[in-house]
Structure 1
Amino acid sequence: MHTVTPWSATAQADIENSEILLERKISSFTYQLYNTGDSLWITAIMPNSGKIAFRAAFAMNSCFELSNLFDDQDSIVVILDSRLGSYEVRINFPDTAVPVLHYTTTFTAAVPLMIPFWPRDIIPLTKNGSVENTNGIIHMEQFGSRSGLLFASITKPKTGSFFYFQNLTSLSEYCEATQTESKNTVGGKWPEVGFQLPSTDKLPLPAGKAFILSDAYVILQTEVVNKPAVICEHFLNNLVKIYKVLQQPEIEYNNWPDIAKKVITDLTNNKGAWTQKNGIPYLNAYLCDYETPAESMVQLAVLIPFKEYEKWSSEKQPVCDDLIKGLPAFYDPKIKCINRWLPSLAQLLDGSEEQKKEMVMDSWYLHHPLMNLARLALHGNKTAEQLLLDSIDYVIRTAHHFDYKWPVFYNMETLEIIKKETAPGAGGENDVPGSYTHLMLLVYKLTKEKRYLKEAEKAAKKLEDLGVSILYQANNTAFAAGALLELYKITSKKLYLDLSYICLAGLFKNVQLYDCRYGFGKNYTNFFSIFPLNDAPYTAAYEELEVYAALSEYLIQAEDVQLLPAVKTLIPEFVKYAVNRIAYYYPPLLPKEMLSDEVKTGELQHDLWIPLEDLYNGWEKSGQVGQEVYGAGMAFGVVPRQYIKIDEDFLIFIDYPIMHQSKTGKSITIHLDGDKEMCCNLKILKLGKRSIKMTVFQDKKLLSAFHKTAEIHDYKISGRGLVKIKWEY
C-alpha cells in the first residue's frame, strides 16, 4: 500500500459521488468531466474498463461553482468561479485518430496570491478499493529543465500505459510574474504523479490577469510496457504524436558562414585561446586558462569540423596545420597510447579535480580523441593513422580488463579503478561501450581487419541491459546510436537496431521540448535543446554540436534501412532547431547582463566569437563554467552540413539533413528524407553582383518564395522529397 496526501485520499470517492458534467467518446476511450468541489477532474475510461483521472483545475482553499459549460464538438470550455478567482478550462482532442487529450487551464486571481502548494494532477482509479492500493511503473519523467513529460504503466489494476506531456512554454508568463521556474514540475511518487505548479515564495501571482496554469497533452494505451526496447519504441512514437499537435516556435535564422569567419578571426588572433610548448601552439580548453595542460580531445574537437569547413570553403586554414603538427606530442610511450594531457606539461596538473592528476583517465576521454584520429586517417592523414594504430592495442587491452564496462576514472598505467560509479548503484560511464563500438568500426573501416568488428560486437552487447539509463554523455550516446545502426547494417541482427533506438530514446528524453520565455531564458530561443548529461543543469556547446553532427550522419547512414517513422520525424526536427539555436552560445548574440560575473575557469570576453560552455534556463546566468575553446568548431560543423556553395555566386541553405546533392549544369537536385508532414526552410543567399533568376521545385511542383529580396529568397518546403533548383544568369 502506498501512502497518499489528503488531496488524493478522497479523490476516487469524490469522483464517484459527483455527477457527470459531460461525457465524450473518442475512439475506444470515454472521457467524463466531474466537479468535485475543489477540483475539476477529467476521467478517462479505457477499453478494458481501467480508469485514470486528470485534475484539470484546483480551487485551492475554495470550492468551484460551474458558471458555464460550452461544447461544440471541436472543443469543450468550462468556466468555473471560486472565491479566489475564475478559471477557464479548454479541452479538445487535436488528433482523434490517436487519440490525444489536450486540456489548458487559465486562472485569473481576484487578489494577489501566494501559492505555497499545488497537488499533482494524475491519479489512477480502481473499480473497487482506493488509489493507494494501485501500482505503477514510471518509465520516464522530467529531470531539471528537460521536457515536462511522464511515461508510465499502471500495473495494478493492469490498466495500460499513459504518456503525459506538459507544454512548459505556456507556463512562462506565470514563471516570469512569480519568479518561479518550470524545472522538475512533472514527476511524483506513485500514485500521485503528473504536473505540480511551481509554488511561489518570492512574488505573488498578480490579480486581474489571466495566466495559464496547465497545458497538458495525454496519450492513453491499453498495453503495459516493460521491456526496454518496447518502452523506447513507445516513447519515441508517443513523443512524435505530441510533437505534431504541439505549437512549435518560429525559427530564427543565423548567418553561419558569416559567424564562421568571425570565429576564424578570433580563434586565430586571441592569445587567450592558445598555449605553447616546444615551439608548437596548442588550444586551451577554456579561454585564458593557462594553468591546465593542453588536452588531446580539445585539439581534435576543433580540428575535425575545421577540416570539414576547409574542404567546403576550398580555402587553406593555417590553424588546421598547427593543430595537426601538435598531435604526435600527445603520444605517451609509457602506456603506448595517446594521453588525455600533453605528457610534457603533466607537471601542471594540480589535482584540484579528480581527473587533474597524471595518468588519471576519464573513460570517454580515452576513446573520443581516437575516434577523431580515425576520422582524419580515413581522409588520408598519415600522422593521424600512425597515432591511431600505435594506440589501439592499449585501448583493446583496457576494454578487456574492464569487460567492456568502463568506470568513471581509472589509472592509465595500472588500470586501477579510481571512481567506479557516477552515483551509488548507477554504474560507470554507461554509454562508453557504444563509443568503443564506434571507434572499433572506424578502425575496421580503415584496416579491414575482422578483429575490430568482433570487438565492436562484444562491446555493443554490453549495452543490452541498460534500457533508458544508457545515456552518460549525450554526444557519446549519439555516436553509439550510429555505431549500432552500422552494426545492424553489417550483421542484420535486429538486436543492434533495437539498441540504436534505445540510444535515441535516451537522447530524446534528455531534451528540452519547450521554449523558456522567462528570466534570462527569454533572451534566446532554447526549444529542442539537449543536455550533455542526465543530471546536467545546463546545455553545453560542444556536446550539442556533436549530437547535431552525429544525428545528421545517422539519418544519411540509415538511407537504406527501414527506420521507425518516429526517428525520421525527431532527428530532422532536432537538426532544424539546433542549426538555428546553437548560435546563441556565442556571447556577442546575448545581452551582457545575462552572463555570469564569476567564471570557474579562465575568463569571459563578451565580444569574442568563442562559445560559452553553459547556457541556463530561467533565472540563472550563463557562462559560469567558462568560454569553451573546444566548442569553437561549432560554426565549422554547421556550414558544410547545411550550406551548398554554388561557385562564388550564391549559397543554398536548408535546415534539414541533406541526404544527397547532385549538380548538373545550372541546376542542383537535393534529396531530403525526413517526415513529409513536417516542413523546413530553404534559403537562397546571393553573394555576388550578378543578376540571377531562380526557379525552385519540390517533387516537380513549382514553389513560390514567401519572402524575397535582392539578396535572399525564402521558401518553406516539405521535410521529405526531391528539391530541384534551376538558375539563369
Structure 2
Amino acid sequence: MHTISPWAATVQADLENGTVIWEKEFKNYNFHAFNTGDSIWILTTWPDGGKMAFRAAFGLNCCFEVTNLLDDGELLVLNLETRIGKYEVCVNFPDSEEVLLHYTTSFSAKMPLLIPFWPRDILVVTKQGSVENTSGNLHMHQMGSRSGILFASTTRPRTGSVFYFQNLGSLSPYCEATETSLEDTVGGAWPEIGFKLPVTNQKALPADKAYIISDAYVIFSDQIIDNEIQETQEFLTHLAHVYMALPHPEVFYHNWPDITQSCLRDLQQSKGCWTQTKGKSYLNAYLCDYDTPGEVMVQLAVLMPLNELKDWYGKTDPIYNELLDGIEGFYDPKVKTVNRWLPELAHQLDKSEEQKQEMVMDSWYLHHPLMNLARLALNGDKKAEELVLKSVDFAIKVAHHFDYQWPVFYKMDTLEVIKKETEPGKGGEKDVPGSYAHLMLLIYRLTNNKRYLREAEKSVKKLAGCGFDILYQANNTAFSAGALLELYKLTGKQEYLDLSYACLACLFKNMQIWDCQYGFGKNYPNYFSVFPLNNAPYTAAYEEMEVYAGLSEYLLQSETVDLPSSLKILIPEFLKYAISRFPFYYPPKLPEEMISDEVKTGEIGKELWIPLEDLYNGWEKSGQVGQEVYGAGVGFGVLTRQYHKVKGEEFLLFSDYPIIHIKKSNKTLTFKILGSASLECNLKILIPNKVKLKIKALVDKNIIAPTSENTEIISYNITGGSTVKIMW
C-alpha cells in the first residue's frame, strides 16, 4: 500500500460522487470531465475499465464555478471562475492514429498571488477499492530541464501505459513573471505523478493577465510493457506522435561558411588557445588554461573536423599539420598506448580532480582519441594509422580485464579500479561497451581483420537489459547506436538493431524538446538541446556536436534499413534544430550579461569565436566551466555536413536535413532528402556576388516556388523523403 497526500486521499470518492460536466468517447476510450469543487478532473477510462484521472485545473483553496462550456465536437472550452481568479481549460484530440489527449489550462489572478503549493496532476484510480492500492512502473520521467515527459505503466490494475508530455515552453511567461524554473517539474511517486506547477514563494504572479499553467499531451495505450526493448521502442513511437502534434519554434539560418572562417581565425591567432612543450604546439583544453598538461583528446577533437574541412575546401589549414606533428608525443611506451596526458608532463598534474592524476584513466577517454585516430587513418593519414594500430591492443586488454563492463576510473599501469560506479548501485560507464564496439568496427574497416568484429559483438552484448540506463555520456551513446546499426547490417541480427534503437531512446530521453524563453534562456534558442550526462545541469558544445555528427551519420547509414517512422521524424528534426542552435555557444552571439564572471578553468574571451563549454537555460549564467578550445571544430562539422559543393559551379547547396544520391549532369543536379514526408526542411542555394543564375527547382517532377529569394540566397521548404531536381 502506498502512502498518499491529503490532495489524493479524497479524489476517488470525489469522482465517484461528482457531477459530470462533459463526456466524450474516442477510439473506445471514455473521457469525462468532473468538477469536484477545488479541482477539474479529466477521467480517462480504458476499454477494459482501467482508470486514470488528470487534474486539468486546481482551485487554490477555492471552489470552481463553470461560467461557460463550449463543445463543437472537436474542441472543448471550459471557462471557470473562483474567488481568486479565472481559468480556461481547452481539450482536444489532435492525433487521428493514437489516443492522444491534449489539454491546456490558463489562469488569470484577480490579485497578485504567491502560490506556495501545487499538487501533481495525474492520479491512478481503481474500478473499485482505493487509490493507495494501485501499483505501476515509472519507466522514465523528467530530469532537470529535459523534456517534461513521464512514461508509466499500470500493473495493478494491469491496464496499459500512459505517455505524458508537458509542453513546458508554453509556461515560459509564467516562469518569467514569477522568476521560477521548470526543472524537475514532471515526475512524482506512485500513485501521485505528473506535472507540478513551480511554486512562487518570493515573487507573486501578477494580476489580470492570463498565464498558461499547463499544456499537456497524453497518449494512452493498452500495451503492457514487459521488457526494455518494448519500453524504449514504445517511448520513441509515442514521442514522435506527440512531436507531430506540438507547435514548433522558428528555425534560424546562420552563415556557417563565415562562422567557420571566424573560428579558424581565432583558433590560429588567439595565444590563449595554445601552449608549447619542447618545441611542439598543443591546444589548451580551455582558453588560457596553461596549468593543465596537453590532452590527446583535445588535439584530436579539433584535428578530426579539420581533416573533414581539408577535404571540403580542397586545401590543408596550417593548424592541421601543426597539431598532427604533436600527436606522437602522447604515445606512452610503458603501457603501449596513447595516454590522456603528455607522458613527460603527467607529473605536473595538480590532482584537483580524480582523473588529474598520473596513470588514472576515465574509461570512455581511452577509446575516444583512438576513434579519431582510426577515422583519420581511414581518411588516408598514415601517421594516425600507425599510432592507432600500436595502441589498440591495450584497449582490448582493458576490455578483457573488465569483461566489457568498465568502471569510471582505473589505473592504466595496474588496471586497479579507482572509482567503480557513477553512483552507488548504478554501475560504471554503461555506454562504453558501445563506444568500444564503435572503435573495434573502425579498426575492422581499416584492417579487415575479423578479430575486431568479434570484439565488437562480444562487447555490445553487455548493453542488453540496460533499457533507459544505457546512457552515461551522450556522445558515447550516439557512437553506440551507430555501432549497433553497423553490426546489424553486417550480421543481420535483429538484437543489434533493437539495442541501437534503445540507445537512441536514451538520447531522446536526455533532450530538452521545449524552448525555454525565461531568464537568460530567452536570449538564445534551446529547443531540442541534448545534455552531455544524465544529471548534467547544462548542455555542452563538444558533446552536442558529436551527437549531431553521430546521428547525421546514423541517418545516412540507415537508408537501406526499414527505419521506424518515429526515427525518420525525430532524428532529422534534432539535426535541423541543432544547426539553428549551435552558433549560440559562441560568446559574440550572446549578450554579455548572461556570460558568467566566474570561470572554473581558464578565462572567457567574449569577443572570440571559441565556444563556451556550458549553456544553461533559465536563471543561471553560462560559461561557468570555461571556453572550450576542444570544441572549436563545432562549426567545421556543420559546414562539411550541411553545405554541398557542386563540381564546376560556384554556388553552394545547403539543407538542414541530410541529403544523399547527389548527381550532376550538365546543368542539372538531383538528390534525395532524408526524413519524414510529414515534415519540411530548409533548402537554400547560396550564390556568390556577381554570379547570376536562373534557378528552377522540381520536387518529384513538380516545379516549386521559392519561399524567399534575393541575389545571394534562394530558399525552399521541402518535405522529407523528396527527390529534388535543380536546374540552372
Judge same fold: TM > 0.5, yes or no: yes
> Which residue pairs with 2:577 in the alignment?
577
> Which residue pairs with 2:669 in the alignment?
668
> Which residue pairs with 1:645 in the alignment?
645
1:709, CA displacement in angstroms? 1.1
Equivalent residue letter for 1:427: G
Equivalent residue letter for 1:4: I
1:250, CA displacement in angstroms? 0.7
1:665, CA displacement in angstroms? 2.1
Structure 1: segments with no counterpart, 5+ residues: none
Q: SS at 1:690's partner residue?
A: coil
Q: How far, CA to CA, are the matches of 1:579 and 1:481 in structure 2?
A: 21
Q: How far, CA to CA, are the matches of 1:133 and 1:302 in structure 2?
A: 56
> Which residue pairs with 2:312 in the alignment?
312
Q: How far, CA to CA, are the matches of 2:718 and 2:156 in structure 1?
A: 47
> Which residue pairs with 2:542 in the alignment?
542
Alignment of 1:661-700 (within 5 A): 661-700=662-701
Q: How far, CA to CA, are the matches of 2:519 and 2:275 in structure 1?
A: 37
> Which residue pairs with 1:495 in the alignment?
495
Q: How far, CA to CA, are the matches of 1:704 and 1:620 in structure 2?
A: 44
Equivalent residue letter for 2:722: G
1:340 aligned to 2:345? no
1:288 aligned to 2:294? no
Q: SS at 2:312's partner residue?
A: helix
Alignment of 1:446-525 (within 5 A): 446-525=446-525
1:115 aligned to 2:122? no
1:438, CA displacement in angstroms? 0.3
Q: How far, CA to CA, are the matches of 1:265 and 1:318 in structure 2?
A: 11
Conserved? CA contact 2:689–2:712, under 8 Å: no
Equivalent residue letter for 2:611: P
Q: How far, CA to CA, are the matches of 2:707 and 2:673 in structure 1?
A: 20
Conserved? CA contact 2:99–2:221, under 8 Å: no
Q: How far, CA to CA, are the matches of 2:681 and 2:447 in structure 1?
A: 39
Q: How far, CA to CA, are the matches of 1:279 and 1:457 in structure 2?
A: 43
1:234 aligned to 2:234? yes
Q: SS at 1:201's partner residue?
A: strand
Q: How far, CA to CA, are the matches of 2:704 and 2:5 in structure 1?
A: 58
1:260, CA displacement in angstroms? 0.1
1:708, CA displacement in angstroms? 1.0
> Which residue pairs with 1:357 in the alignment?
357
1:173 aligned to 2:205? no
Q: How far, CA to CA, are the matches of 2:722 and 2:707 in structure 1?
A: 19
Equivalent residue letter for 2:490: I
Deviations 1:98-139 (A, max 9, x none): 121000000000010000110000001101111110001000
Conserved? CA contact 1:31–1:43, under 8 Å: yes
Q: How far, CA to CA, are the matches of 2:217 and 2:291 in structure 1?
A: 50
Equivalent residue letter for 1:667: T
1:720, CA displacement in angstroms? 1.2
Q: How far, CA to CA, are the matches of 1:299 and 1:698 in structure 2?
A: 43
Structure 2: segments with no counterpart, 5+ residues: none
> Which residue pairs with 2:406 in the alignment?
406
> Which residue pairs with 1:433 in the alignment?
433
> Which residue pairs with 1:155 in the alignment?
155
Pick which of 709-718 and 189-198 moved more. 709-718
1:566, CA displacement in angstroms? 0.8
Q: How far, CA to CA, are the matches of 1:576 and 1:287 in structure 2?
A: 29
> Which residue pairs with 2:218 in the alignment?
218
Q: How far, CA to CA, are the matches of 1:513 and 1:472 in structure 2?
A: 20
> Which residue pairs with 1:718 in the alignment?
719
Q: SS at 1:254's partner residue?
A: coil
Equivalent residue letter for 2:81: D
Deviations 1:668-707 (A, max 9, x none): 1121221011100011111131211111111111110111
Q: How far, CA to CA, are the matches of 1:328 and 1:206 in structure 2?
A: 63
Q: How far, CA to CA, are the matches of 1:466 and 1:573 in structure 2?
A: 26
> Which residue pairs with 1:57 in the alignment?
57
Deviations 1:384-409 (A, max 9, x none): 11111111111101000000000000
Equivalent residue letter for 1:237: T
Pick which of 339-348 and 256-265 moved more. 339-348
Deviations 1:200-256 (A, max 9, x none): 122100000000000000000011213010001100000000000100001011111
Pick which of 656-665 and 152-161 moved more. 656-665
1:328, CA displacement in angstroms? 0.6
C-alpha RMSD over aligned residues: 0.8
Q: SS at 1:383's partner residue?
A: helix
1:538, CA displacement in angstroms? 0.1
> Which residue pairs with 1:657 in the alignment?
658
TM-score where L is the length of structure 1: 0.99
1:330, CA displacement in angstroms? 0.5
Q: How far, CA to CA, are the matches of 2:301 and 2:226 in structure 1?
A: 38
Pick which of 669-678 and 433-442 moved more. 669-678
1:645, CA displacement in angstroms? 2.0
Q: How far, CA to CA, are the matches of 1:315 and 1:381 in structure 2?
A: 15
Q: How far, CA to CA, are the matches of 1:160 and 1:54 in structure 2?
A: 16
Equivalent residue letter for 1:256: W
> Which residue pairs with 2:129 in the alignment?
129
Q: How far, CA to CA, are the matches of 2:483 and 2:286 in structure 1?
A: 30
1:649, CA displacement in angstroms? 2.4
Deviations 1:350-374 (A, max 9, x none): 1000000010000000000000000
Q: SS at 1:459's partner residue?
A: helix
1:29 aligned to 2:25? no
Equivalent residue letter for 2:666: G
Q: SS at 2:98's partner residue?
A: coil
Conserved? CA contact 1:286–1:627, under 8 Å: yes
Equivalent residue letter for 2:172: S
Q: SS at 1:15's partner residue?
A: helix
Q: How far, CA to CA, are the matches of 1:654 and 1:295 in structure 2?
A: 35
Conserved? CA contact 1:153–1:160, under 8 Å: yes
Equivalent residue letter for 1:602: G
Q: How far, CA to CA, are the matches of 2:5 and 2:24 in structure 1?
A: 30
Q: SS at 2:54's partner residue?
A: strand
Equivalent residue letter for 2:261: K
TM-score where L is the length of structure 2: 0.99
Q: How far, CA to CA, are the matches of 1:174 and 1:237 in structure 2?
A: 30
Equivalent residue letter for 1:380: G
Pick which of 651-660 and 388-397 moved more. 651-660
Equivalent residue letter for 1:549: A
Q: How far, CA to CA, are the matches of 1:167 and 1:532 in structure 2?
A: 22
Equivalent residue letter for 2:283: L
Q: How many percent of aligned residue pairs carry the same amino acid?
A: 61
Q: How far, CA to CA, are the matches of 2:655 and 2:145 in structure 1?
A: 29
The runs of at least 4 aligned residues of structure 1 exceeding 3 Å deviation read: none
1:660, CA displacement in angstroms? 3.0
Q: How far, CA to CA, are the matches of 1:99 and 1:685 in structure 2?
A: 44
1:648, CA displacement in angstroms? 6.0
> Which residue pairs with 1:375 in the alignment?
375
> Which residue pairs with 2:609 in the alignment?
609
Equivalent residue letter for 1:459: S
Deviations 1:419-459 (A, max 9, x none): 00000011111100001000000101111111111100000
Conserved? CA contact 1:650–1:688, under 8 Å: no
Equivalent residue letter for 1:660: H
